[in-house]
Amino acid sequence: MNADAYAEALWQVIQKGESPKKAVVALNGLLERHGRSLLLKRIAKSIARIAERENRRSGMLLSVAREEDAALAQKEITEVMAQMKVQKDDIIVSVDKNLIGGWRLEGRDQLADASYKKYLLDMYNAATKS
Protein backbone atom coordinates (compact mmCIF):
# COMPACT_ATOMS: atom_id res chain seq x y z
CA MET A 1 0.00 0.00 0.00
CA ASN A 2 1.16 3.52 -0.69
CA ALA A 3 0.87 6.58 1.57
CA ASP A 4 -2.37 7.76 -0.04
CA ALA A 5 -4.05 4.43 0.62
CA TYR A 6 -2.97 4.45 4.27
CA ALA A 7 -4.18 8.06 4.61
CA GLU A 8 -7.54 7.21 3.05
CA ALA A 9 -7.92 4.24 5.42
CA LEU A 10 -6.97 6.41 8.39
CA TRP A 11 -9.50 9.04 7.34
CA GLN A 12 -12.25 6.43 7.10
CA VAL A 13 -11.44 5.02 10.55
CA ILE A 14 -11.58 8.49 12.09
CA GLN A 15 -14.84 9.32 10.28
CA LYS A 16 -16.41 6.18 11.74
CA GLY A 17 -15.83 7.57 15.23
CA GLU A 18 -12.39 6.37 16.29
CA SER A 19 -10.32 8.85 18.27
CA PRO A 20 -7.73 10.45 15.94
CA LYS A 21 -4.94 9.89 18.47
CA LYS A 22 -5.85 6.23 18.93
CA ALA A 23 -6.11 5.70 15.16
CA VAL A 24 -2.70 7.27 14.51
CA VAL A 25 -1.06 5.25 17.29
CA ALA A 26 -2.53 2.05 15.83
CA LEU A 27 -1.36 2.99 12.33
CA ASN A 28 2.11 3.82 13.61
CA GLY A 29 2.31 0.40 15.30
CA LEU A 30 1.23 -1.33 12.11
CA LEU A 31 3.80 0.56 10.03
CA GLU A 32 6.58 -0.27 12.51
CA ARG A 33 5.67 -3.98 12.50
CA HIS A 34 5.85 -4.06 8.70
CA GLY A 35 9.02 -1.96 8.49
CA ARG A 36 7.25 0.92 6.74
CA SER A 37 7.48 3.66 9.36
CA LEU A 38 9.18 5.97 6.85
CA LEU A 39 5.78 6.36 5.16
CA LEU A 40 4.42 8.26 8.16
CA LYS A 41 5.50 11.70 6.89
CA ARG A 42 3.93 11.10 3.48
CA ILE A 43 0.76 9.79 5.13
CA ALA A 44 0.56 12.99 7.20
CA LYS A 45 0.79 15.13 4.04
CA SER A 46 -1.79 12.99 2.31
CA ILE A 47 -4.22 13.15 5.22
CA ALA A 48 -3.88 16.95 5.19
CA ARG A 49 -4.86 16.98 1.50
CA ILE A 50 -7.84 14.74 2.23
CA ALA A 51 -8.98 16.99 5.09
CA GLU A 52 -8.67 20.06 2.88
CA ARG A 53 -10.66 18.37 0.11
CA GLU A 54 -13.40 17.33 2.52
CA ASN A 55 -13.51 20.80 4.05
CA ARG A 56 -13.99 22.35 0.60
CA ARG A 57 -16.73 19.86 -0.14
CA SER A 58 -18.67 20.26 3.12
CA GLY A 59 -17.62 23.62 4.56
CA MET A 60 -18.17 27.15 3.42
CA LEU A 61 -15.41 29.71 3.03
CA LEU A 62 -16.14 33.42 3.28
CA SER A 63 -13.25 35.33 1.68
CA VAL A 64 -12.83 39.03 2.41
CA ALA A 65 -10.17 41.55 1.40
CA ARG A 66 -9.39 42.73 4.95
CA GLU A 67 -10.18 41.58 8.50
CA GLU A 68 -12.32 44.68 8.99
CA ASP A 69 -14.61 43.64 6.10
CA ALA A 70 -15.64 40.35 7.76
CA ALA A 71 -18.37 41.79 10.01
CA LEU A 72 -20.02 43.69 7.16
CA ALA A 73 -19.78 40.70 4.84
CA GLN A 74 -21.42 38.43 7.42
CA LYS A 75 -24.34 40.86 7.63
CA GLU A 76 -24.65 40.97 3.83
CA ILE A 77 -24.62 37.21 3.32
CA THR A 78 -27.62 36.35 5.51
CA GLU A 79 -29.95 36.09 2.50
CA VAL A 80 -27.38 34.11 0.52
CA MET A 81 -26.91 31.75 3.49
CA ALA A 82 -30.65 31.06 3.56
CA GLN A 83 -30.67 30.28 -0.18
CA MET A 84 -27.65 27.96 0.18
CA LYS A 85 -29.10 26.39 3.35
CA VAL A 86 -25.95 27.22 5.30
CA GLN A 87 -25.67 27.79 9.04
CA LYS A 88 -23.47 30.56 10.42
CA ASP A 89 -21.36 27.94 12.26
CA ASP A 90 -20.47 26.27 8.92
CA ILE A 91 -18.66 29.36 7.63
CA ILE A 92 -14.92 29.90 7.91
CA VAL A 93 -13.73 33.48 7.35
CA SER A 94 -10.48 34.01 5.45
CA VAL A 95 -8.60 37.07 4.24
CA ASP A 96 -7.82 36.84 0.53
CA LYS A 97 -5.13 39.26 -0.66
CA ASN A 98 -6.38 38.88 -4.26
CA LEU A 99 -9.68 40.59 -3.42
CA ILE A 100 -9.85 44.37 -3.67
CA GLY A 101 -13.02 44.59 -1.61
CA GLY A 102 -16.35 42.87 -1.13
CA TRP A 103 -16.66 39.16 -0.37
CA ARG A 104 -16.88 35.66 -1.86
CA LEU A 105 -18.79 32.78 -0.25
CA GLU A 106 -17.87 29.41 -1.69
CA GLY A 107 -18.21 25.76 -0.85
CA ARG A 108 -20.49 22.79 -1.33
CA ASP A 109 -20.13 23.28 -5.08
CA GLN A 110 -21.67 26.76 -4.85
CA LEU A 111 -20.30 30.28 -5.21
CA ALA A 112 -21.73 33.68 -4.30
CA ASP A 113 -19.36 36.39 -5.49
CA ALA A 114 -19.90 40.01 -4.45
CA SER A 115 -16.27 41.03 -4.73
CA TYR A 116 -15.05 44.23 -6.33
CA LYS A 117 -12.71 42.09 -8.40
CA LYS A 118 -15.70 40.34 -10.00
CA TYR A 119 -17.43 43.64 -10.75
CA LEU A 120 -14.26 45.12 -12.25
CA LEU A 121 -13.73 42.03 -14.42
CA ASP A 122 -17.37 42.19 -15.56
CA MET A 123 -16.94 45.86 -16.54
CA TYR A 124 -13.66 45.10 -18.34
CA ASN A 125 -15.22 42.21 -20.27
CA ALA A 126 -18.23 44.33 -21.22
CA ALA A 127 -15.98 47.19 -22.41
CA THR A 128 -13.68 44.98 -24.47
CA LYS A 129 -16.45 43.03 -26.19
CA SER A 130 -17.95 46.08 -27.90
**Least confident piece of the model among 19-23, 33-37, 54-58, 125-129:** 54-58
- Specify whether 63 is located in the same domain as 41: no
Same domain as 33, residue 66: no
Residue 92: give the domain boundaries: 59-129
Four-point Cα dihedral 105, 108, 110, 113, nearest 10? 10
Residues 48 and 80 placed together within one structural domain of the fold: no
Tell me, yes or no, whether 19 and 31 share the same domain: yes
Based on the fold, state whether residues 47 and 101 are members of the same structural domain.
Answer: no
In this structure, the answer to whether residues 87 and 103 fall within a common structural domain is yes
Q: Are residues 66 and 52 in the same domain?
A: no
Residues 66 and 93 in one domain: yes
pTM (2 decimals)? 0.54
Number of domains in the chain: 2
**In this predicted structure, what is the pLDDT of residue 130?**
63
Co-location of 87 and 100 in the same domain:
yes
In sequence order, the 6+-apart residues with CB closer than 8 A to the CB of 109 are: 57
Q: Which residue has the higher pLDDT, 10 or 55?
A: 10
Residue 105 to residue 82: CA distance in whole angstroms: 13
Contact 68, 101 (CB under 8 A): no
Q: Are residues 33 and 91 in the same domain?
A: no
Same domain, 48 and 27: yes
Question: Are residues 45 and 72 both part of a single domain?
Answer: no
For residue range 58-116, list pLDDT tens digits in order.
778 899 989 888 888 888 888 888 888 888 887 888 898 888 888 998 887 788 888 88
